[in-house]
Amino acid sequence: MKVITTKSELRSSLQSSRTDRKRIGFVPTMGYLHEGHISLVKQAKLECDIVVMSIFVNPLQFGPNEDLNRYPRDFERDCELAKKAGVDYLFHPDVSEMYPSQSLTYVRVGQITEKLCGASRPGHFDGVATVVTKLFQIVQPDRAYFGLKDAQQVAVIEQMVLDLDIPVTIVPCEIVRESDGLALSSRNVFLTPEQHQQALILSKSLQMAKDKLASHLFESTDQVSQFVIQQIQTQSLAEIDYVDTLQYPSLESPNSLTDDLLIAVAVRFGSTRLIDNVLVRHNNKEC
Ligand code: AMP
């Protein structure tokens, strides 16, 4: 595995692969790797000849009062995990390499970014769309791998790629969970044992809601969200940011319980904000 810190070196390293018509897979991350990230690499290795991973904590997607400075980082450990997973190129630029001068250009995706995390983190998805566009320009991957843990992010990137004619196939990958159900996240490291225990309500309540939907026990999508809210409120340390049930991937208000639905939650435990979701597909049975 080659660790690369500059855009020009990455571009020139990938040149020969491109000339040889090798298929380039790309896994963008913010590091502090866990099995969720590794699952994306595994999928990329199945489908591509070369796997590029980026590790970049992107300041543009953090609001002024968010956790940019305390976001967990351990580059040495990440290197070992990435190498073991079979990453070929690990791109680890610093902020001045990615943003050498004050940027005057941003990428903004409309509508889909106004709900859920977009509503509670203003500007977040502008930062995501902008950095992902830059990374796509630098890596020029054939396929790029994103986790459905961030289902709204997947919807935003798919829309952006469509709207801007970016020649890359987006591959959404399933959520990886701990054996107790908690969705893996770099931020889980901040949870106390008690917070971790209480946070299990997220996956439990989402799965219960999905099961009840399948058994036709809800009359409206509002009832679905209310059910999840009531479950989460049983935990004393949980502070709900949002719980919503929306059409996926448009994130419009659902017309009926038989739409493809995303039930999504964001909940704080102390200063740690966790997100989780389930997809309920009626029109495509893969989930
Ligand atoms: P992050 O480093 O948190 O920005 O995540 C980088 C990529 O890994 C994103 O596409 C995430 O959706 C994905 N990811 C993070 N956690 C998980 C998980 N538990 N399961 C699957 N993918 C994940």
Q: What angle do CA 114, 255, 169 make, to 5 degrees?
A: 55
Q: In a structure prediction context, what are the per-residue pLDDT tens digits for the chain, which is 287 residues long?
A: 999 999 999 999 999 999 999 999 999 999 999 999 999 999 999 999 999 999 999 999 999 999 999 999 999 999 999 999 999 999 999 999 999 998 899 999 999 999 999 999 999 999 999 999 999 999 999 999 999 999 999 999 999 999 999 999 999 999 999 999 999 999 999 999 999 999 999 999 999 999 999 999 999 999 999 999 999 999 999 999 999 999 999 999 999 999 999 999 999 999 999 999 999 998 765 44
Atom of ligand 1 nearest to the CA of 176: 20
Distance from C-alpha of 213 to C-alpha of 75, rounded to nearest angstrom = 42
Count CB atoms within 10 A of the CB of residue 257.
17
* Token representation of residue 193: 């044992």
Alpha-carbon distances of 80 from 76, 147, 187, rounded to whole Å: 7, 21, 20
Q: According to the model, what pLDDT value does residue 284 have?
A: 60
Q: Which CATH number fits domain 186-280: 3.30.1300.10, 2.60.40.10, 3.40.50.720, 3.40.50.1370?
A: 3.30.1300.10
Residue nearest to atom 5 of ligand 1 (CA): 29
* Residue 91 contacts residue 53 (beta carbons within 8 Å): yes
CA 217–ligand 1 middle distance (angstroms): 32
Ligand 1 binding pocket mutation candidate from 150, 158, 279 (most atoms within 8 A of CB)? 150
The answer to the question of whether 3 is labelled as a binding residue is no
Distance from C-alpha of 263 to C-alpha of 278, rounded to nearest angstrom = 5
Residue nearest to atom 13 of ligand 1 (CA): 147
Domain covering 2-173: architecture: 3-Layer(aba) Sandwich (3.40)
Residue nearest to atom 22 of ligand 1 (CA): 147
CA 37–ligand 1 middle distance (angstroms): 5
* Residue 280 contacts residue 260 (beta carbons within 8 Å): yes
Q: Where are the domains of the chain?
A: 2-173, 186-280
In 3D space, the residue among 269, 205, 279, 199 whose CA is nearest the CA of residue 246 turns out to be 279
* Residue 204 contacts residue 178 (beta carbons within 8 Å): no
The answer to the question of whether 120 is labelled as a binding residue is no
Could you write out the DSSP letters of every residue in 147-205? EGGGHHHHHHHHHHHHHTT---EEEEEPPPB-TTSPBP-GGGGG--HHHHHHHHHHHHH
Provide φ and ψ at 246, rounded to 5°.
Answer: -135, 165
**Which sequence positions are flagged as catalytic?**
37
In 3D space, the residue among 177, 240, 152, 190 whose CA is nearest the CA of residue 71 turns out to be 190
Q: According to the model, what pLDDT value does residue 208 have?
A: 98
CA 2–ligand 1 middle distance (angstroms): 22
Which one-letter amino acid corresponds to residue 239?
E
Distance from C-alpha of 160 to C-alpha of 153, rounded to nearest angstrom = 10
